[in-house]
Structure 1
Amino acid sequence: MTGAEPDVGLLDEAVRAVDAPDVVFGISRDGHRTVRSGGTRPATSPVPRDRQRYEIGSASKTLTGLLLADLDHTGVLSAADPVASLLDPNRPPGRHPATLWHLITHTSGLPPLPADLYPRALPRWYTNPYAGYPSERVVRAFFRARPARRPGTRWRYSNFGVAVLGHALVAATATPWERLLTARVLRPLGLDDTVLSPTGPGTDATGHRADGVTPVPPLRIGGFQAAGAVHSTPYDLLTYLEALLRPEGGPLATALLEMRRPLLRRGRGHEHTHTLAWFCHPVEDGTMYFHIGATSGQVAFLGFRPDRGTALVALSTRRYSRTDALVPTAYALLAGCSRRNPPC
């Protein structure tokens, strides 16, 4: 029996557990990859499911965090820099300014979304809620915001905050977002099939509403690029997670190691931690890092366990719902890999 055979059975079982038009599960154990796919729709695309690009939604924030860690390490800027001063050098930062660090760790005090986004987003809530909210509006909303809590005192997940972070990094480096992330993160890690906007049918997987039948248009992210713009293939995502598992000696090594360092305690009993961009949970025999992403028609789970040399990618093309099996299936598979599969 080869080392890959147990994974084939586990992943095939995981694929069958998820009711979606397209489903892909991929696992890497000490650099050995197994990828399996399936789904409810006929596989008619000339590009196989495991070679298409998927929207990873909020899991994009982990790449934004990695970019910030690299810019900080190389001295381009400091994660402690006040955001307001980067976006407008003529504006005083205030007594308790939000910093870049606050934005990426969701401790800035900003709400999940700007209040004035909702009227624009509601007519397209199930297709492209961010498309009508451009970059300049995100920045204006930041300057208008009056956080309910002082930055650094409370964790509250915020797409708004990470979107603002992207614009602050653009301002600090005088480099457009796509070029900045591509040059400093995607290309050094060899993520050549990872992009920040839709590229077309066939290459891009098609998302679907919660009914699993009705297609939705490709993601248009407006001014929220840093919070959720990434489109990637299962193999590129495994490459990314493998770099996090074994950063030593590779590109961005210091920044990748920084991404694994626990920074905040949160959750019931403060048993969960949060790194610069990853959720970190204790599991049997170790620790797992993960992030989830959901768009109008797709769901993504990225996770890795340095203690086991294991990384997991799970993707589907059906809008997330409470009954969606992808996230719990992926979470259980990664958390329990040492119990169910001895080679883990």
Structure 2
Amino acid sequence: MTARPGVRPAPWPGGPPDVTGALPPEDPPATDDEAVLRRLDAAVDAVDAPDVVFALSRHGRRTVRTGGTTPPPPVPRERLRYEMGSASKTFTGLLLAHLTETGLLSAGEPAAALLDPARRPGADPVTLAHLITHTSGLPALPADFFVRALPAWRTNPYARYPAERVVDAFLRHRRGHRPGTRWHYSNFGVAVLGHALTAATATPWDELLTGQVLDPLGLSDATLVPGGPDTDATGHRRDGTTPVPPLSVGGFQAAGAVRATPHDLLTFLEAHLDPSGRPLTGALRAVRRPVLRRGLGHRHVHTVAWFQHPTEHGPMYFHGGATLGQQAFLGFRPDTGTALAAMCTRRFRARDVFVPTAYALLAGP
């Protein structure tokens, strides 16, 4: 999640860089485990950030490699929580899928009616489905967000925009396009979805996501609030040296509040790889289904939680996220039984090395 409109974890053009870490011809052939280690170490080395973690699961076998430009912190990097930013939307999408799969609500329900029961929906209302698929017609952020956030632009801009203002901005918004007709990535829309789900279930967001998703999947170290230096990684600005305070998301919890350890993230992704016999089985299967295609030749495919790209043998699912001081990439490939969680404690510029490196690692053999 970023504070600039139009910035989104979208598919990246062109061929991603090669981070396979191939051995020189004179070296003996590597075993599968050695090849994985070399690829992960090459990925860690490619990312110029104070702390870097690449955690990979292949058919349930986990490999985690860490590094960075600073000395190792007192708590091992793989045991720290990292800010997911917009990758938190994969948790929100799974929650919505679960609530609809269990019949607690319908994705076609008008959001405004849930947030203000006295309001009449009117023609072509914005539904929960529109909000999660970024087809609501809402902008990336509310119109007055930047004015309110400016005093804390370099520290915690979202903290200055609480839940009440998010809901009020949505209910007052004058739409320019009919919902469902255009795709536009919107932190605002997913934040509204979170408040609508809170209203529909009469449950605060942290209790709702924790009780319905985090706890059932066994994500014991995942949380929605900052901890301290013994539990949370410290983010840094683009210079890679200036630390930034922990993210406070204000009323945008559903769009970017999750922070989690690499192993909890692998547990989350492994559940997507093999939903059978797990809690939330129906929802885990539902979030794989394409619900939206866009772009030239409909090449960009979306589910309610993930971006989907084709590979030679099947689809890969992924989502990125960024805060003021950290970046994350989550993805999985059912065809190879592979899940990848990558994190770093630096906010890169658009299309810098971190995201292409993680993408290439997941897309590779």
TM-score, normalised relative to structure 2: 0.90
Residue 323 (structure 1) shift: 5.6
Residue-by-residue CA offset, 1:134-163 (whole Å, 9 max, x unaligned): 000000000111121101111110000000
Q: Residue 214 of structure 1: SS of its match in structure 2?
A: coil
Residue 124 (structure 1) shift: 2.1
Distance 1:55 1:85 in 2: 32
Distance 1:94 1:277 in 2: 28
Mapping of residues 198-209 of structure 1, within 5 Å: 198-209=226-237
Residue 165 (structure 1) shift: 0.3
Number of residue equivalences? 336
Distance 2:182 2:352 in 1: 29
Q: 1:324 aligns with which of 334, 337, 352?
A: 352
Distance 1:57 1:322 in 2: 15
Distance 1:331 1:277 in 2: 17
Residue 2 (structure 1) shift: 5.6
The equivalent residue for 1:8 is 37
TM-score, normalised relative to structure 1: 0.96
User: Which runs of no fewer than 5 residues in structure 2 stay unpaired?
Assistant: 1-29
The equivalent residue for 1:342 is none
Distance 1:48 1:267 in 2: 42
Q: 1:254 aligns with which of 274, 282, 293?
A: 282
Distance 1:71 1:323, change over 3 A: closer
The equivalent residue for 1:314 is 342
The equivalent residue for 1:282 is 310
Residue 39 (structure 1) shift: 0.2
Matched, 1:267 2:267: no
The equivalent residue for 2:103 is 75
Q: Which one-letter code corresponds to 1:93 in the other structure?
A: P
Q: Residue 75 of structure 1: SS of its match in structure 2?
A: coil
The equivalent residue for 1:18 is 47
The equivalent residue for 1:32 is 61
Q: Residue 204 of structure 1: SS of its match in structure 2?
A: coil
Q: 2:86 aligns with which of 47, 53, 58?
A: 58
Q: 2:250 aligns with which of 205, 215, 222?
A: 222
Residue 249 (structure 1) shift: 1.2
Q: Which one-letter code corresponds to 1:303 in the other structure?
A: G
The equivalent residue for 1:126 is 154
Residue-by-residue CA offset, 1:92-129 (whole Å, 9 max, x unaligned): 01111000000000000000000111111123223211
Distance 1:19 1:226 in 2: 29
Matched, 1:231 2:259: yes
Percent identical among aligned pairs is 69
Residue 3 (structure 1) shift: 3.9
Q: 2:325 aligns with which of 273, 297, 307?
A: 297
Matched, 1:164 2:198: no
Residue-by-residue CA offset, 1:141-195 (whole Å, 9 max, x unaligned): 0011112110111111000000000000000000000000000000000000000
Residue-by-residue CA offset, 1:236-284 (whole Å, 9 max, x unaligned): 0000000000001110000000000001112332112000020001123
Q: Which one-letter code corresponds to 1:190 in the other structure?
A: G
Ranges of 4+ aligned residues in structure 1 off by more than 6 Å: none
Mapping of residues 93-108 of structure 1, within 5 Å: 93-108=121-136
Distance 1:267 1:331 in 2: 20
Residue-by-residue CA offset, 1:50-108 (whole Å, 9 max, x unaligned): 11000010000010011111111111111111101100111001111000000000000
Residue 201 (structure 1) shift: 1.3
Distance 1:323 1:281 in 2: 18
